[in-house]
């Protein structure tokens, strides 16, 4: 791929758009159905994704499994809520399984409630974040509702799907119990939940379109691997995962550090005045008693904690601006002569809200596990960062007056000490980091034989899903079409209105040429 080798100086001035079509065509006959799909792990066969291609179950046949609400409105949209009762673990006998609830919101354009529209399932990024809550018809949802009945599913453990919050998880009495519970909250079971919903919602249990953003795209590739008969077509936006066996987290973080450094350079070039400002903050934190200052929730803000602001600030379209404006108000004004210099409550509060660990702790607990198949992560980001500490030592950089580099999408073990909302779950997080029997999330053989039409938006400077790793995976998904661009960042689906969705649909419905 020539674009991957193009010098950065040549790419940046352009709105880079490039399409790629796999050599395998996606429109030949489908593979035979399978009732139960199992994968080999290091400890033997583990039933992971139940394709649910057996007898159709409808809401009328199992009323307790599916409850449908009444229609209600937001401007130009009609919505109704669905609640499904599903197994925590699909491989267990249905008479003995633990049950959880999955919430999904159905969205249509006003006046289309009774029309026979094709279904589109949206899978949110994360892991550990709920689906969007529409307040009006706008952006990609407005575009999708022109031709689809949109299903916004809260992935298990988020939103209204038996949410795993900082309070609800305390019901599990031991770290071992919590870790054993959390192992069921990855892409394999998210796909099982999606298939359960499809069988209840789609007329004649027909296939639907899936739109996967970021981690939602990872889930969609798991869907392609193990339950392709449920899919009519798949749209990926910034969400093509590394699919190698074992744990690919080390490769992900090693590749991402290069892009993180580049994003830091771009940030300080945009806001050079922030070099001194951030150094001053780091020095203040390092010299404070205990090595940091108290956060409003009871945690502590340290220099290495401050660097986490790159998680949001360096990777989205307006992240640079928001990060800069946060630092504009980092210091309290001196309104009484002789008062001590201190970091403002405004900044400390904004810091906690930006990271969202208090409202979405599942992200911190499960993030590295999304890269694991039959191998532990062993705190991969922390190990890879240690190899790059010469670049990311905040205290050393601040003392020398060099730019302090922010980190990216990484979870570190010390976060479970420094952030109040995460402290009760430190031991469980450590158990998950050492878990070595994670079941498979992808089937490369099935992907190479894929027959489902797939189109993907690939963002050249994506901070979260590394371009080079994407280009290693893409050729292994037969028939995939890539739209490569640096017009958008990772948040392109949100930022582009309906343009990104329209472009991907056009790649599959003939409006965009194959070459």
Tokens of 166: 């900082």
pLDDT at position 14: 39
pLDDT at 35 over 90: no
pLDDT at position 52: 37
Percent of the chain at pLDDT exceeding 70:
87
Tokens of 381: 């980001």
pLDDT at 7 over 50: no
pLDDT tens digits along 143-157: 999 999 999 999 999
pLDDT at position 317: 87
pLDDT at position 403: 98
Least confident of 55-59, 77-81, 266-270, 408-412: 55-59
Strand, coil or helix: 31: coil
Segment 422-429 mean pLDDT: 98
**Contact yes or no for 215/126 (Cβ under 8 A):** yes
Segment 169-179 mean pLDDT: 97
pLDDT at position 12: 38
**Contact yes or no for 17/484 (Cβ under 8 A):** yes
Q: Per-residue confidence at 19, pLDDT binned at 50, 70, 90?
A: low
**Contact yes or no for 416/426 (Cβ under 8 A):** yes
pLDDT tens digits along 366-407: 999 999 999 999 999 999 999 999 999 999 999 999 999 999
Q: Per-residue confidence at 116, pLDDT binned at 50, 70, 90?
A: very high
Q: Per-residue confidence at 510, pLDDT binned at 50, 70, 90?
A: confident
Tokens of 30: 């489908």
Higher per-residue confidence, 513 vs 420: 420
Q: Per-residue confidence at 415, pLDDT binned at 50, 70, 90?
A: very high
* Interatomic CA distance for residues 515 and 499, integer angstroms: 20
Backbone phi and psi for residue 365, each to the nearest 5 degrees, phi listed first: -70, -35
**Percent helix, strand and coil across the chain, each to the nearest 5:** 40, 15, 40
Higher per-residue confidence, 509 vs 192: 192
Percent of the chain at pLDDT exceeding 90:
84
pTM greater than 0.85: yes
**Contact yes or no for 484/503 (Cβ under 8 A):** no
Q: Per-residue confidence at 95, pLDDT binned at 50, 70, 90?
A: low
pLDDT at 242 over 50: yes
- Residues carrying an active site annotation: 214, 437, 490
Give strand pairing partners of 101.
Answer: 85
Backbone phi and psi for residue 163, each to the nearest 5 degrees, phi listed first: -65, 140
Mean pLDDT for the chain overall = 89
Higher per-residue confidence, 131 vs 14: 131
pLDDT at position 64: 76
* Cβ neighbours for 461, distance < 8 A, ≥ 6 positions apart: 259, 262, 263, 467, 486, 489
| HSE-CB for 401 with a 13 A CA cutoff | 1
pLDDT at position 140: 97
pLDDT at 63 over 70: no
Q: Per-residue confidence at 236, pLDDT binned at 50, 70, 90?
A: very high
* Interatomic CA distance for residues 222 and 190, integer angstroms: 9
Segment 38-54 mean pLDDT: 35
pLDDT at 453 over 80: yes
DSSP state of 308: G
């Amino acid at each position: 791929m020539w674009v991957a080798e193009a010098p950065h100086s040549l790419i940046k001035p352009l709105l880079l758009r490039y399409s790629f079509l796999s050599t395998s065509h996606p429109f030949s006959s489908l593979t035979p159905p399978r009732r139960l799909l199992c994968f080999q792990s290091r400890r033997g066969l583990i039933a992971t994704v139940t394709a649910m291609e057996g007898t159709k179950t409808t809401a009328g046949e199992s009323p307790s499994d599916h409850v449908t609400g009444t229609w209600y409105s937001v401007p130009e949209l009609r919505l109704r809520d669905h609640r499904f009762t599903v197994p925590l673990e699909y491989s267990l006998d249905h008479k003995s399984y633990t049950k959880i609830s999955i919430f999904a919101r159905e969205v249509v354009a006003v006046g289309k409630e009774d029309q026979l529209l094709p279904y589109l399932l949206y899978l949110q990024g994360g892991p550990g974040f709920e689906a969007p809550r529409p307040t009006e018809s706008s952006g990609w949802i407005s575009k999708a509702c022109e031709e689809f009945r949109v299903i916004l599913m809260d992935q298990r453990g988020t939103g209204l799907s038996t949410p795993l919050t900082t309070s609800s998880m305390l019901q599990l009495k031991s770290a071992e119990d919590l870790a054993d519970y959390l192992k069921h909250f990855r892409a394999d079971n998210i796909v099982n939940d999606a298939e359960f919903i499809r069988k209840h919602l789609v007329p004649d249990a027909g296939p639907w379109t899936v739109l996967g953003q970021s981690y939602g795209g990872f889930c969609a590739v798991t869907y392609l691997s193990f339950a392709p008969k449920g899919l009519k077509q798949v749209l990926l936006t910034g969400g093509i995962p590394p699919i190698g066996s074992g744990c690919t987290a080390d490769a992900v973080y090693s590749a991402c550090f290069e892009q993180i450094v580049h994003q830091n350079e771009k940030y300080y070039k945009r806001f050079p005045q922030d070099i001194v400002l951030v150094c001053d903050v780091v020095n203040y934190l390092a010299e404070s008693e205990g090595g940091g200052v108290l956060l409003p929730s009871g945690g502590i803000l340290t220099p290495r904690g401050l660097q986490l602001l790159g998680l949001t600030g360096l990777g989205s379209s307006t992240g640079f601006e928001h990060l800069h404006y946060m630092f504009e108000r980092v210091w309290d004004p001196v309104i009484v002569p002789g008062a001590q210099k201190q970091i403002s409550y405004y900044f400390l509060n904004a810091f906690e809200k930006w990271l969202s660990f208090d409202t979405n702790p599942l992200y911190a607990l499960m993030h590295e596990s999304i890269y694991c198949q039959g191998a532990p992560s062993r705190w991969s980001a922390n190990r890879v960062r240690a190899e790059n500490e010469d670049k990311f030592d905040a205290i050393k950089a601040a003392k020398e007056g060099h730019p302090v580099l922010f980190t990216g999408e990484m979870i570190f073990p010390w976060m479970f000490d420094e952030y109040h909302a995460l402290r009760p779950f430190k031991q469980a997080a450590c158990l998950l980091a050492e878990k070595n029997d994670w079941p498979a999330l992808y089937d490369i053989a099935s992907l190479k034989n894929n027959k489902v039409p797939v189109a993907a938006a690939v963002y050249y400077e994506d901070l979260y899903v590394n371009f080079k790793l994407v280009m290693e995976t893409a050729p292994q998904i037969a028939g995939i079409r890539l739209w490569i661009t640096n017009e958008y960042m990772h948040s392109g689906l949100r930022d582009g209105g309906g343009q990104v969705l329209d472009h991907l649909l056009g790649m599959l419905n003939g409006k965009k040429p194959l070459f």
